């Protein structure tokens, strides 16, 4: 009952406030990524089968200089599922100048123990043999891979110094349109070099390289 | 007006229900440091502790329902796996490490011999998913628990949720394990001026302070760091320890410095259970330290102990055995 009252009050408040939509979209070969299909790349092709990531600590800076930080800001995004790619953030309705967020789960949260919702370890974004969240996962196959069966799998995470793989992304917004964040995989796969790296599944130097490379794939689609 | 009063009465009843939460606190001697476990995110509750205890002893966690946590962590050996150098899991397969005792976990920051796990809540993910330990998935365990009326009622009562979430299972297991506090060994009684060491133990204590306390630091008998104590690598297991986790060369062959409390109950010793007795352990520290690139510098200087002194050291180590912990019925199989 108490819960219902809270819920009702919350509902009333929330129905007055406004929510900003952010859409995430993966792009390969200048087209929205299609999963489980061979997309031309570098004279060959890449087939992405899985692509998930955590977006956390979403923050807006407004044109008037003020800012907004989402509370409990942890979102698991499955790029294969369009519904999962839309975030609705309840902020003050003001014109946004800059958007920032983290890719992955911060170290403080990693130290807090068991969680539910998007942070539930059953979501497949938690290592079992070693504790810690996986910040992002991308798996698939390509003839470019040096591995057997031409498979690649990157499970990137780690929150302990010096291999804290979380990445902070800051994007400037120019026009007043909706926010669409594109993740351009062409540059990512070029730097990763599938003929040299096909598997990174634990925290460390290699994971740091992949995470830093991944950071550069984010782009705000304006207008 | 009548309506308002009605709501007020309803609210009061609700608060009464909420009040069933009986926050309890762990107790420990004044000479213990502050625990490090994040209790603020998992407030101890007697009902949740007893739920965790049921889970700890329940084979539901293994794929063929044959193995419970207690199979490898028996209360009668301070929750270690006595007699087994390497722990045995499902289908009698043999693991690659010795199961450590479980006690005073609220003071521990890193778990497993290599520190692979950094939070007690998350530790069960490791054995449950390990193909030679319990060979199960937590998702499936929760599905099984959801079909068991005893558990669904217990979980709903304590967590006020109609479904069982992994968070509840993990937090319950952690709560039970957090109550496994061992602080009633003879050493503690001496500390509390309730008794005295005998002459042999007294001399052993001195030897301990000079040679062992550097790593196995009082009063928890570990400084919670990692070290290479010169036992050398087992050529078959090729276990590099901490380096596997940190990927630093300097961490090669470093293992968690274990507490020496209850040491009389937790044989065999070391991460791979290679030593059968405390005598063998002490002979190692005196006569067989293998100096390699990462061997702790403290052990580079030879420890010279006579035969008598070694016996005295063992006598002292036995004052760390806490029989009241072993026989505490609250820790045993729930009936």
- Which of the pair, A149 or B176, is modelled with greater confidence? B176
Task: Give the model confidence (pLDDT) of B67-119 as tens digits.
Answer: 899 999 999 999 998 777 776 666 555 567 899 999 999 999 999 999 999 99
Nearest CA in chain A to B164: A116
Residues 163-222 of chain A with CB under 8 A from chain B are: 163, 203-205
Task: Note the pLDDT of residue A149.
Answer: 85
Residues of A whose CB is below 8 A from B10: 1
In angstroms, what CA-CA distances link B63 with A176, B134, B150, B334? 54, 6, 20, 22
Q: Which pLDDT value is given to residue A141?
A: 96
Residue-wise pLDDT tens digits, A82-110: 999 999 998 878 889 999 999 999 999 99
Using CA atoms, how far apart are residues B301 and B141, in angstroms rounded to an integer? 50
Q: Please determine, for residue A209, whether its predicted confidence score (pLDDT) is greater than 60.
A: yes
- pLDDT per residue over B193-240, tens digit each? 999 999 999 999 999 999 999 999 999 999 999 999 999 999 988 999
Beta carbons of B319 and B197 less than 8 angstroms apart: yes
DSSP A2: H
Q: Give the residue from A215, A175, A169 showing the smallest Cα distance to A191.
A: A215
Nearest chain B CA: its distance from A45 CA (Å)? 33
From A126's Cα to the closest Cα of chain B, the distance in A is 9
What pLDDT was estimated at residue B271? 96
CB neighbour list of residue A117: distance below 8 Å, 6 or more residues apart:
A74
pLDDT at B4 over 80: no
Nearest CB among B167, B171, B174 relative to A120 is that of B167
Q: For residues B8-23, give the mean pLDDT.
A: 50
What's residue B84's pLDDT? 73
pLDDT at B17: 46
Q: Tell whether A11 is covered by a domain.
A: no
Give the mean model confidence (pLDDT) for residues A192-212: 94
Burial (CB < 10 A; 0-12, 13-18, 19+), residue A15, is exposed
Which domains, from first to last, does chain B contain?
21-182 (1.10.760.10), 186-324 (1.10.760.10)
The pTM of the full predicted model, rounded to 2 decimals, is 0.90
Of the candidates B193, B228, B221, B181, the one whose C-alpha atom is nearest the C-alpha of residue B205 is B221
**pLDDT at B20 > cutoff 50:** no
Compute the distance between CA of residue B178 and CA of residue B136 in angstroms, rounded to an integer.
24
Q: Is residue A13 part of a domain?
A: no
Say what the pLDDT of residue B10 is.
Answer: 52
Report pLDDT for B24: 80
The answer to whether position A12 is within a domain reads no
| Distance of alpha carbon A163 from alpha carbon B251, whole angstroms | 15
Span between the terminal Cα atoms of chain B, in Å: 51
Q: What contacts A3, CB < 8 A, 6 or more positions away?
A: B160
Q: How confident is the model at residue A4 (pLDDT cuts 50, 70, 90)?
A: low
Closest chain A C-alpha to B106 CA, distance in angstroms: 13
pLDDT digits (tens, 9 = 90+) for A143-171: 999 887 899 999 999 999 899 999 999 99
Query: Which among A1, A114, A122 is the nearest to B121, CB-wise?
Result: A114
Q: What is the mean pLDDT of residues B14-31?
A: 68
Average pLDDT over residues B166-186: 97
Strands A18-28 and A31-32: antiparallel
Residues of A in contact with B21 (CB under 8 A): none
Query: Is residue A8 domain-resident?
Result: no
Backbone angles phi, psi at A198, to 5 degrees: -125, -15
Q: Do A126 and B118 touch (CB under 8 A)?
A: no
Q: How many CB atoms lie within 10 A of CB A86?
A: 13
Distance CA B114, CA B158 (A): 34
How many Å lie between the alpha carbon of B10 and the closest alpha carbon of chain A?
Answer: 8
- Nearest-CA neighbor of B38 among B103, B123, B119, B115? B119
The pLDDT tens digits for B230-283 are 999 999 889 999 999 999 999 999 999 999 999 999 999 999 999 999 999 999
User: Poorest-confidence range of B134-138, B161-165, B178-182?
Assistant: B134-138
Average pLDDT over residues A196-206: 93
Nearest by Cα to B281 from B269, B297, B294: B269
Is some CB atom of chain B closer than 8 A to the CB atom of A108?
no
| pLDDT at residue B171 tops 60 | yes
Please name the residues between 5 and 64 in chain A that touch chain B, using a CB distance below 8 Å.
Answer: 5
The Cα angle at residue B101 between residues B99 and B102, in degrees rounded to 5: 115
DSSP letters of B158-227? Answer: HH--SS--HHHHHHHHHHHHHT-----SHHHHHHTTSS---HHHHHHHHHHHHHTTTTS-TTTT--S-EE
Q: Do B122 and A120 touch (CB under 8 A)?
A: no
- pLDDT, residue B19, reads 40
A66 and chain B: CB distance < 8 Å anywhere? no
Give the pLDDT mean for B282-303. 97
The DSSP result for A59-103, as a single string, is EEEETTS-EEE-TT-EEEEETTSGGGGEEEEEE-S--EEEEEEEE
CB-CB under 8 Å, B116 with A131: yes
Q: For chain A, what is the domain count?
A: 1
Residue B137's pLDDT band, with cuts at 50, 70 and 90, is confident
Q: Which of A47-61, A195-209, B76-90, B273-287 has the lowest mean pLDDT?
A: B76-90
Name the band, by pLDDT with cuts 50, 70 and 90, for residue A8: low
Whether residue A160 and residue B118 make contact (CB cut-off 8 A), yes or no, is yes
> What's the confidence (pLDDT) of residue B177?
98
ipTM here: 0.85
Domain hosting residue A199, numbered range: 20-221
Q: Alpha-carbon distance B293 to A178, whole Å?
A: 58
Mean pLDDT of B49-55: 96
Assess if residue A54 is contained within a domain: yes
* pLDDT number for residue B92: 59
Chain-chain contact of A121 with B122 (C-beta, under 8 angstroms): yes
Looking at chain B, the whole-number percentage of residues with pLDDT higher than 70 is: 89
- Cβ-based contacts under 8 A for chains A and B: 81
Could you tell me the pLDDT band of residue B128, with boundaries at 50, 70 and 90? confident
Q: Name every residue whose Cβ is closer than 8 Å to that of residue B327 and which is 6 or more positions away in sequence.
A: none
pLDDT value at position B82? Answer: 77
B38 contacts on A by Cβ (under 8 Å) = 111-113
- pLDDT score for B18: 45
CA dist A186 and A29 (Å) reads: 6
The arithmetic mean of pLDDT across residues B175-198, rounded, is 98
Give the mean pLDDT of chain A.
90
Q: Sort out which chain A residues have CB atoms less than 8 A from B118's CB and list them.
A: 110-111, 131-132, 160
Q: What is the pLDDT of residue B22?
A: 56
On the question of pLDDT at A122 being above 60, the answer is yes
Q: pLDDT tens digit string along A26-46?
A: 999 999 999 999 999 999 999
**Which residues 6+ apart lie within 8 Å of B201 measured at CB?**
B186, B312, B315, B316, B319
Please give the C-alpha separations between residue B27 and each of A113, B33, B34, B106, B183, in angstroms, as whole numbers: 22, 12, 11, 11, 10
Phi/psi-derived region of residue B177, left when phi > 0, alpha when psi is between -120 and 50, beta in every other case: alpha
Q: A180 vs chain B: nearest CA distance in angstroms?
A: 33
- State whether B126 and A129 contact (CB < 8 Å): yes
């Amino acid at each position: 009952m108490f819960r219902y009252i809270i819920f009702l009050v919350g509902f009333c408040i929330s129905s007055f406030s406004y929510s900003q939509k952010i859409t995430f979209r993966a792009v390969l070969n200048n087209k929205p990524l299609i999963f489980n299909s061979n997309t031309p790349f570098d004279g060959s092709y890449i087939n992405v089968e899985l692509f998930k990531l955590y977006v956390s600590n979403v923050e807006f800076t407004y044109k008037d200089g003020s800012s907004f930080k989402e509370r409990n800001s942890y979102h698991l995004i499955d790029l294969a599922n369009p519904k999962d790619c839309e975030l609705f953030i309840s902020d003050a309705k003001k014109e946004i100048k800059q958007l920032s967020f983290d890719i992955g789960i911060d170290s403080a949260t990693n130290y807090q123990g068991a969680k539910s919702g998007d942070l539930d370890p059953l979501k497949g974004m938690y290592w079992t043999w070693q504790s810690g969240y996986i910040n992002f996962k991308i798996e698939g196959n390509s003839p470019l891979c040096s591995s057997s069966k031409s498979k690649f799998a990157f499970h990137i995470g780690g929150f302990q110094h010096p291999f804290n793989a979380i990445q902070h992304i800051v994007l400037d917004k120019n026009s007043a349109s909706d926010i669409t964040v594109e993740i351009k995989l062409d540059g990512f796969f070029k730097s990763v070099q599938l003929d040299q790296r096909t598997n990174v599944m634990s925290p460390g130097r290699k994971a740091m390289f992949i995470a830093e490379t991944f950071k550069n794939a984010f782009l705000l689609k304006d207008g | 007006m009548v309506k308002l009063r009605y709501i007020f009465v309803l609210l009061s009843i609700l608060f009464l229900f909420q009040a069933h939460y009986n926050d309890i606190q762990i107790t420990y001697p004044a000479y213990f440091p502050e625990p490090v476990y994040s209790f603020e995110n998992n407030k101890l509750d007697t009902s949740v502790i007893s739920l965790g205890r049921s889970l700890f002893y329940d084979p539901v966690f293994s794929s063929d329902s044959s193995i419970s946590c207690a199979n490898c962590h028996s209360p009668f050996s301070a929750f270690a796996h006595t007699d087994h150098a390497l722990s045995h899991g499902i289908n009698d397969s043999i693991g690659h490490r010795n199961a450590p005792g479980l006690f005073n976990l609220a003071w521990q920051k890193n778990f497993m011999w290599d520190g692979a796990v950094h939070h007690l809540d998350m530790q069960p993910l490791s054995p449950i998913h390990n193909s030679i330990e319990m060979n199960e998935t937590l998702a499936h365990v929760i599905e099984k628990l959801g079909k068991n009326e005893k558990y669904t009622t217990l979980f709903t009562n304590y967590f006020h949720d109609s479904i069982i979430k992994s968070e509840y299972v993990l937090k319950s297991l952690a709560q039970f394990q957090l109550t496994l506090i061992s602080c009633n060994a003879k050493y503690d009684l001496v500390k509390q001026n309730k008794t005295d060491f005998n002459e042999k133990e007294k001399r052993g204590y001195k030897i301990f302070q000079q040679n062992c306390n550097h790593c196995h630091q009082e009063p928890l008998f570990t400084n919670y760091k990692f070290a290479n104590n010169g036992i050398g690598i087992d050529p078959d297991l090729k276990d590099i320890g901490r380096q596997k986790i940190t990927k630093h060369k300097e961490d090669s062959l470093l293992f968690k410095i274990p507490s020496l409390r209850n040491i009389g109950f937790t044989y065999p010793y070391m991460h791979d259970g290679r030593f059968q007795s405390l005598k063998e352990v002490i002979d190692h520290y005196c006569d067989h330290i293998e100096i390699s690139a990462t061997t702790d510098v403290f052990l580079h200087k030879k420890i010279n102990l006579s035969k008598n002194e070694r016996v005295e050291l063992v006598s002292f180590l036995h004052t760390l055995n806490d029989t009241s912990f072993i026989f505490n019925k609250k820790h045993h199989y729930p009936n």
